Amino acid sequence: MALKTGKDYVESLKKLNTEIWAFGERIEDFTEHALLKPHINAAAVTYEMAHDPQFEDLVTATSHLTGEKISRFTHIHQSAEDLVKKVKMLRMIAQRTGTCFQRCVGFDGLNAMYSTTYEMDEALGTNYHERFKEHLKYLQENDLMSAGSMTDPKGDRSKKPSQQSDPDMYVRVVEKNDKGIIIRGAKAHQTGIINSHEMLIMPTVALSEEDKDYAVACAIPVDAEGVKHIFGRQSNDMRRLEGDIDCGNAKYGIVGGEALTVLEDVFVPWEKVFMCGESQFAGMLVERFASYHRQNYGGCKTGVSDIIIGATALAADYNGVAKASHVKDKVIEMIHLAETLYGGSIACSSEGRPTSSGSYFVDPLLANVVKQNVTRFIYEICRLSHDVAGGYIATIPSEQDLKHPEIGKYVEKYFKARDGVSTENRIRIGRLIENMTGGTALVESMHGAGSPQAQRVMLLRQGNLKHKTELAKNLAGIKE
């Protein structure tokens, strides 16, 4: 099949029977619902740009399985250049959406699963890799959006999956038969899940032998029987029901339309099962996925930062202070922080190396450095934006007040800044800054792809401290 357009993508979602709940009600035509439509629009951009000659080199690739032109979001990295193109693509798309476009988690899951299944088969004589390649071809040929489903609710974090008082706190296999397996549990914080076609279920932590029932990886449709999606609340989400201006980024929303996905005894045929009890490989899969996903943040978050920086400079111009030296210096610092993030992602990609499967893997140390920096630099970029733009971004009256026949004139008069700039435009840029620098967006920067401590654990593990101490001993003349 040919690559989908944005319209094709939306039409394909209409054919699904996805069970989505929000605010206590089941949403029927979710492609037209005000809460969900912005996220669908953002994902649609990734489909539409694949048809633009200006961007197709980044947004498309050639399948190493079929030789056909495919979406890069279903591609398995075949070189360090592929890894670099991925980062450039993410920045470019984020510059156009100003928000999460949701396809990265599934993209990273596919690449982590590809090399892990290969090495599982090498070690154990299983047939998971061939099964996975068939699934991958299915995604590529139909240009489907796959959601990476890794994060479990976890329950008591001090206990292993098998030690939980409620065994469903991690997704597990509850039954096996000659046709397949049945899984139960839930996946939390599922980015883009409500407007995906498929889910790629993966374990969320390294596992031991006693946790082998939780060592499960498989693919299921998002509308499979027993799958329920409960849409998560986001900052200012009700504004989507009220108008345009107050949303800030009305067309594409904020973050990725996350949901809690319940798996109530879901059947999975064996051909869609890629791990079932091989607990010794769960850690490998988790670490590879995490490294790929942490690579992303210097791409997409830099693209989003480009918009925040531009909006901040525009707000300063509207306020008449753009030429002030301290304002210029703060904007320079925002640019420096953003490009530092980008440089980290390019570096961990350029240092990528082939796995035994032939696919390419990022430098995991540098990938974790990228994400660790994101948990700090994005907050500083947002702080500087608030500093430069001014306090009005937190106290702007509603769009209804601005357009009210009686009180609108006061909003128009007293929220005006320098001459030549309309009050509405000043409010619009203020709302965009508010939207992109607060609440849900910042939390995602902190905890998306793992909390800061998760990266610090990996930094110590990948940092080769023993080698560093040997270097120091050599220079100090220490002999042992």
How buried is residue 365: exposed, middle or buried, by Cβ count under 10 Å (0-12/13-18/19+)? Answer: middle
| 75 counts as catalytic | no
| 297 counts as catalytic | yes
Q: Is the dihedral of CA 217, 193, 349, 470 positive or negative?
A: negative
| 258 counts as catalytic | yes
Residue 230 pairs in a beta bridge with 21, 260
Tokens in use for 186?
């839930």
Query: What is the pairing mode between strands 20-22 and 25-27?
Result: antiparallel
Task: Give the integer Cα–Cα distance in Å for 342 and 301.
Answer: 8
Q: Residue 106 is which amino acid?
A: G
Q: Which one is catalytic: 218, 247, 276, 300?
A: 300
| 214 counts as catalytic | no
Query: What is the pairing mode between strands 198-201 and 180-190?
Result: unpaired
| 300 counts as catalytic | yes
Query: What is the pairing mode between strands 146-149 and 172-176?
Result: unpaired
Query: Is 191 annotated among the ligand-binding residues?
Result: yes
Task: Give the integer Cα–Cα distance in Å for 217 and 270.
Answer: 11
C-beta separation of 120 from 154 below 8 A: no
Tokens 């953002």 sit at which residue?
A: 42
Q: Which one is catalytic: 48, 258, 278, 434?
A: 258
Q: Which one is catalytic: 293, 342, 382, 399?
A: 293
Q: Which one is catalytic: 39, 74, 97, 100?
A: 100
| 128 counts as catalytic | no
Q: Which one is catalytic: 9, 170, 214, 297?
A: 297
Q: Residue 237 is which amino acid?
A: D
Task: Give the integer Cα–Cα distance in Å for 417 and 206.
Answer: 55
- What are the residues whose beta carbons fall under 8 Å from the beta carbon of 231, sequence distance 6 or more? 20, 21, 22, 27, 35, 36, 194, 257, 258, 259
C-beta separation of 415 from 396 below 8 A: yes
Q: Residue 55 is which amino acid?
A: F
Residue 228: strand, helix, or coil? strand
Stated as kind and residue range, the H or E segment containing 85 is: helix 80-97
- Of the candidates 368, 364, 294, 358, the residue with the CA atom closest to the CA atom of residue 119: 358
Tokens in use for 278?
């091989």
C-beta separation of 438 from 235 below 8 A: yes
C-beta separation of 60 from 69 below 8 A: yes
| 302 counts as catalytic | no
| 247 counts as catalytic | no
**Lateral strand order in the sheet of 172-176:** 25-27, 20-22, 227-231, 259-269, 180-190, 172-176
Which residues belong to the annotated binding site for FAD? 191
Which residues belong to the annotated binding site? 191
Please give the positions annotated as active site.
100, 104, 191, 258, 293, 297, 300, 444
